[in-house]
Structure 1
Amino acid sequence: MALVLAVAAGVVGMLIGMVGVGGVLLPPLLVAVGGLTAHEATATSTWAFIFTGVVGTAAYSWRGVVPWPMLLRLAIGIVPAAFVGAAANVLLPATVVLLAMATLTLYVGARQLRPGTDPAEGEAGRELRTAELVGIGAVVGFGSALTGTGGPVLLVPLLLALGITPVKAVAVSQAAQLPVVISGSIGYLQAGLTDVALGTTLGVLAAVGTAVGAVVATRIHAAHLRALIALACIAAGLFLAARAAADLLGG
């Protein structure tokens, strides 16, 4: 069990660092392999993503590709919504949110496979207004804290669908993890749901993977990165849909 979780944490971290999608895999693994309840798995994975957020932010910041003004506006919506999402997790099933996230990630993944759907390499891409970014932040903060998926798995598809370039979307998602998971973790710690020791161990392992993934992401062609994001989104969308279906059948 410990070895499986350790390897899985490294793979999840690499996916987060490379394409921003990967956090969706950890909560179900903690339930299936770690024996945690759904609420405990969500809380523990949220804690683990603090480590990937720190490393991912540092890695992309060092390369000068994090759009800080965009991040600040996203955070205005993320922070309060993440508190609400963590509180809602204790009371509500996450099936509806999971289905919405599955639909979005599948749509964006399929869209990225079509030629001409993203700005070309070297283009700045679309600039979003403050109100749009605050609204996106609220959706990402609530949905990510509710499901324990960290942030990038929802933020990257949203930004890509709105015309943001792949590297910019992945870079800002790394930094946006921090307000999501810190706010969410405070709520989960207050509820006594977080396995801090397990979350820290998995977080450190995932952070190593994130650092490796960030290096790879900034050194490959934009078209190749777009293809990786597409495949990761489709895989994550199918995984989310399967998890939602299991919740429905189990309920």
Structure 2
Amino acid sequence: MAIVLTMFAMGLLLGFIGAGGSGFIIAILTVLFNIPIHTALGTSLTAMAFTSLSGAYSHFREGNTAVGVGLVVGIFGAIGSYIGSKIATVIPAGDLHWLTAGMLFLSSILLLVRLSLSKKAEETKTKEVKWNQPLTMIKAIILGIVAGILSGTFGIGATPFIQLGLLTMLGLTIRQSVGTTMLVILPIAIGGGTGYRQAGYLDWILLLEVLVGTMTGAYVGAKFTNLAPKSVLKVAMVLTPAVAALLLLIQ
């Protein structure tokens, strides 16, 4: 129950700011509950397959998803994530703590860049572009493999990396990048989770506890999002992975 209640509290925060929080899940499991880092990575990554499902469906219903390019990035992302999970299994636990923390700090920086691009795009009224071109498909494959390897190796959703790639490499709009990212994360989480399960780093009971807590908390927290100023939400989005990184570093 301690894990469930803690995950519920964290879900409230993550639902409130609209962040996936896989890095925070890893930090809480390792620092507060002494879960081995590899098991925390596998559990966090697998949990994303469930938590991103409803979001991906919702964005699809709203027309925010570039399905074709999302499937390409996602399929190759799943391959990359599976490879990344195998890479993680040979990295010593101590080194993995530092590397994952570094990736979370980088995520914070990329979130700042992403928010800046979003503001600029809103000001210039970015037009939707055609993405179904051979060169664009090659870029989608590269983006998928790179984002997948990062997700699988460090157990994070790599949302900032994916969104920036969709915006800058593939030319999607802000709205499309957000919706398509949810679709991309789904196969990435499945691919990486499969790799960790095969290596024996997936605790099904722990996964259930994490899902019950975070999904319930996120549902409640999301109802309060509109009550906060946008500036507060943006700061919270950037600080969330940075704080998770600090927690990992003190382990």
TM-score scaled by length of structure 2: 0.77
Q: Which residue of 2 aligns with 1:191?
A: 199
Q: Which residue of 1 aligns with 2:8?
A: 6
Q: Structure 1, residues 24-78: CA drift from partner, whole Å, max 9, x if none?
A: 2111111122320111111111121121121111221222211101212202420
| 1:32 to 1:99, Cα distance in 2 relative to 1, 3 A | closer
1:166 is matched with which residue: 174, 187, 192?
A: 174
Asked if structure 2 preserves the Cα contact closer than 8 Å seen for 1:49 and 1:203, the reply is: no
Within the alignment, does 1:132 sit opposite 2:135 as a pair? no
Within the alignment, does 1:36 sit opposite 2:44 as a pair? no
1:239 is matched with which residue: 215, 232, 243?
A: 243
Asked if structure 2 preserves the Cα contact closer than 8 Å seen for 1:44 and 1:199, the reply is: yes
Cα shift at 1:100? 4.9
Q: Distance in 1 between matches of 2:126 and 2:117?
A: 18
Q: Distance in 1 between matches of 2:154 and 2:59?
A: 25
| 1:213 to 1:73, Cα distance in 2 relative to 1, 3 A | farther
Alignment of 1:97-246 (within 5 A): 98-100=101-103, 102-103=105-106, 105-110=108-113, 112-113=115-116, 117-120=120-123, 123-125=126-128, 129-160=136-167, 162=169, 164-208=172-216, 230-232=234-236, 234-236=238-240, 238-239=242-243, 241-242=245-246, 246=249
Cα shift at 1:235? 1.6
User: Percent identity at matched positions?
Assistant: 19
Q: Structure 1, residues 56-114: CA drift from partner, whole Å, max 9, x if none?
A: 11221222211101212202420211111111111124444653553354144156348
Cα shift at 1:118? 2.4
Cα shift at 1:138? 1.1
Partner of 1:180, secondary structure, is helix
| 1:182 to 1:57, Cα distance in 2 relative to 1, 3 A | same
Larger radius of gyration: 2
Cα shift at 1:144? 0.9
Asked if structure 1 preserves the Cα contact closer than 8 Å seen for 2:30 and 2:40, the reply is: yes
* Residue type of the alignment partner of 1:45: S
Asked if structure 1 preserves the Cα contact closer than 8 Å seen for 2:128 and 2:172, the reply is: yes
Cα shift at 1:230? 4.8
Q: Distance in 2 between matches of 1:111 and 1:153?
A: 7
Asked if structure 1 preserves the Cα contact closer than 8 Å seen for 2:8 and 2:215, the reply is: no
TM-score scaled by length of structure 1: 0.77
Q: Tell me, which stretches of 5 or more residues in structure 1 are unaligned?
A: none
| 1:52 to 1:107, Cα distance in 2 relative to 1, 3 A | closer
| 1:200 to 1:133, Cα distance in 2 relative to 1, 3 A | same
Q: Distance in 2 between matches of 1:205 and 1:13?
A: 12
Asked if structure 1 preserves the Cα contact closer than 8 Å seen for 2:86 and 2:195, the reply is: yes
| 1:69 to 1:188, Cα distance in 2 relative to 1, 3 A | same
| 1:116 to 1:228, Cα distance in 2 relative to 1, 3 A | same
**Aligned positions, number:** 239
Root-mean-square deviation over aligned CA pairs = 3.5
Q: Distance in 1 between matches of 2:224 and 2:207?
A: 25
Q: Distance in 1 between matches of 2:118 and 2:68?
A: 29
Q: Distance in 2 between matches of 1:203 and 1:13?
A: 13
Cα shift at 1:160? 4.4
